């Protein structure tokens, strides 16, 4: 199958546990919102001038996701040169609808710009984390959730990671990407997304084990996306697979739903919808496109509207399943790290200042350090921070470090050494034991 990917944003409305016939909503988004869920569509900026397309979009959906407009090749076509024109069009479309937007996708082994394909090792690692930081910062506060990493596990029975240029930068690259995304946009939910994980199998279990490990170590992951590109059947353990992930404490989302047309298309769509409604932590469903003619699955007619924009039997089956109700989806915001306030005033010209915030648990912590420039800006910085006795640094992102115990020194990397006057950058690290309580020192240059 093609490796098309997406995920979608969310609008929440008042919640009820069961929807009676008299209260049934007449559109997908409104019916989903009755239980705190969303029903969204992946959309393309180039189709927003199509009146039929946008008419259905505005009427039926309460969430949108970009098909391609926020991927690496679209947002950073040459290294360090970021372009957001089409991504911003998707964002503005969602805002105009009163919908929320999910960003897709920060890192993926496909659709990398050619310059990134030519990198490897530490150069690729730095470029990838810089990409995460810059794009998430551009959309900071505007995206409901980010698809941080996409399709990083291999098909087949191994349950192992996919071999890719990103994987070859180090097995902790996914963790580093999630931490960089949290630092760049603390308010967005952070998700992992993959395909062929709809039932309990080796691949989904590999993802499950990663998520379980991340949750146990305080790695910031809030949601898991299940693409659900289905044929003429649905795994019998579809709902129980969603539930086992939800039991880890993450939201589950059906991110790219489409079903090959056949005699049971409507039945499968209804079964998927009922499964989401039955799992309280299922945030919602996104279909990958609007009309059959918009689908990447040419000739399979896998969507809810035909090429002319007419509702299909599958549409009615979904609407009925949504209106049947189910457990209310909890609408609590994603966890955020308590932040120590940065300096109340900028440091002097040519100087810098640093502040630290902690997310701690028994036996470990994650620290986020903000480096703020003075009135003249800085070109390079060094931060020193004493760690408590028994504390040891285990990993660092968006900086390099000298030492792992006692007083540790952090230096900027290539992409975040220059900070404009009054501006700031952030880096982070993880450690064992108690987190630092001292004020970090900062030297410019």
- Give the pairing type, strands 381-386 and 407-411: antiparallel
pLDDT band at residue 191, thresholds of 50, 70 and 90? Answer: very high
Check residue 346 and give its pLDDT.
55
Instruction: State the DSSP string of 193-235.
Output: EESS-SSSSHHHHHHHHHHHHHHHHT----EEEE--EE-S---
Q: Is 121 exposed, middle or buried (0-12, 13-18, 19+ CB in 10 A)?
A: exposed
Let me know: does 320 contact 11? Beta carbons within 8 Å.
no
As a whole number of angstroms, the distance between CA 256 and CA 254 comes to 6
**Model confidence over 110-147: pLDDT tens digits?**
999 999 999 999 999 999 999 999 999 999 999 999 99
Q: What is the pLDDT of residues 375-401, one digit of tens each?
A: 888 999 999 999 999 999 887 877 899
Residue 319 predicted with pLDDT over 80: yes
Question: Residue 373 pairs with which residues in a beta bridge?
Answer: 352
pLDDT reported for residue 99: 93
Residue 34's pLDDT is 93
pLDDT tens across 43-95, in order?
999 999 999 999 999 999 999 999 999 999 999 999 999 999 999 999 999 99
Percent of the chain with pLDDT over 90: 74
Q: How many whole angstroms separate alpha carbon 385 and alpha carbon 407?
A: 5
- Return the pLDDT at 9: 32
Asked if residues 274 and 289 have their Cβ atoms less than 8 Å apart, the reply is no
Task: Give catalytic residue positions.
Answer: 151, 256
pLDDT on residue 298: 94
3-state secondary structure of 36: coil
Residue 348 is predicted with a pLDDT of 66
pTM for this predicted structure: 0.74
Q: 73 to each of 16, 39, 96, 200, how far by Cα in Å?
A: 42, 27, 26, 33
Q: Burial letters for 26-54: b for 16+ Cβ neighbours within 10 Å, e otherwise?
A: ebbbbbbbbbbbbbbbbbbbebbebeebb
pLDDT digits (tens, 9 = 90+) for 9-40: 333 232 233 333 335 789 999 999 999 999 99
């Amino acid at each position: 199958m093609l490796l098309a990917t997406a995920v979608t944003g969310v609008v929440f409305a008042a919640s009820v546990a069961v929807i009676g016939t008299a209260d049934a909503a007449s559109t997908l988004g409104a019916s989903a919102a009755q239980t705190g869920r969303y029903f969204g569509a992946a959309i393309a900026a180039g189709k927003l001038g199509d009146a039929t397309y946008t008419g259905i979009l505005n009427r039926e959906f309460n969430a949108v996701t970009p098909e391609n407009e926020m991927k690496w090749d679209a947002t950073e076509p040459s290294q360090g040169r970021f372009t957001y024109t089409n991504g911003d069009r998707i964002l503005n479309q969602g805002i105009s609808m009163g919908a929320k937007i999910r960003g897709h996708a920060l890192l993926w082994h496909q659709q990398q710009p050619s310059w990134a394909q030519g990198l490897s090792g530490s150069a690729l690692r730095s470029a990838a984390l810089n990409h995460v930081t810059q794009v998430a910062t551009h959309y900071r506060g505007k995206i409901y959730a980010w698809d941080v990493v996409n399709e990083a596990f291999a098909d087949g029975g191994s349950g192992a990671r996919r071999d890719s240029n990103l994987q070859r930068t180090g097995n902790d690259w996914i963790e580093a990407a999630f931490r960089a995304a949290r630092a760049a946009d603390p308010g967005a939910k952070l998700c992992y997304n993959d395909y062929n994980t709809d039932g309990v199998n080796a691949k989904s279990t590999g993802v499950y084990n990663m998520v379980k490990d991340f949750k146990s170590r305080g790695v910031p992951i809030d949601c898991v996306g299940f693409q659900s590109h289905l044929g003429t059947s649905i795994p019998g353990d579809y709902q129980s697979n969603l539930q086992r992930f939800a039991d880890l404490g993450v939201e589950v989302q059906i991110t790219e739903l489409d079903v090959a047309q056949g005699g049971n298309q409507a039945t499968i769509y209804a079964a998927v919808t009922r499964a989401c409604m039955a799992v309280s932590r299922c945030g919602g469903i996104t279909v990958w496109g609007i009309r059959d003619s918009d689908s990447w699955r040419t000739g399979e007619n896998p969507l809810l509207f035909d090429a002319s924009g007419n509702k299909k039997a599958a549409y009615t089956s979904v609407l009925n399943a949504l209106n049947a109700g189910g457990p209310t989806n909890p609408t609590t915001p994603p966890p955020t790290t308590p932040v120590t306030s940065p300096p109340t005033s900028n440091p002097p010209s040519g100087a810098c200042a640093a502040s630290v915030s902690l997310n701690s648990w028994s036996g470990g912590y994650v620290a986020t350090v903000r480096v703020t420039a003075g009135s003249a800006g800085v070109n390079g910085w060094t931060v020193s921070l004493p760690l408590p006795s028994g504390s040891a640094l285990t990993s660092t992102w968006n900086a390099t470090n000298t030492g792992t115990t006692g007083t540790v020194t952090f230096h900027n990397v290539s992409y975040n050494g220059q900070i404009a006057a009054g501006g700031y950058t952030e880096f982070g690290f993880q450690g064992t034991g108690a987190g630092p309580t001292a004020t970090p020192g900062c030297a410019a240059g």
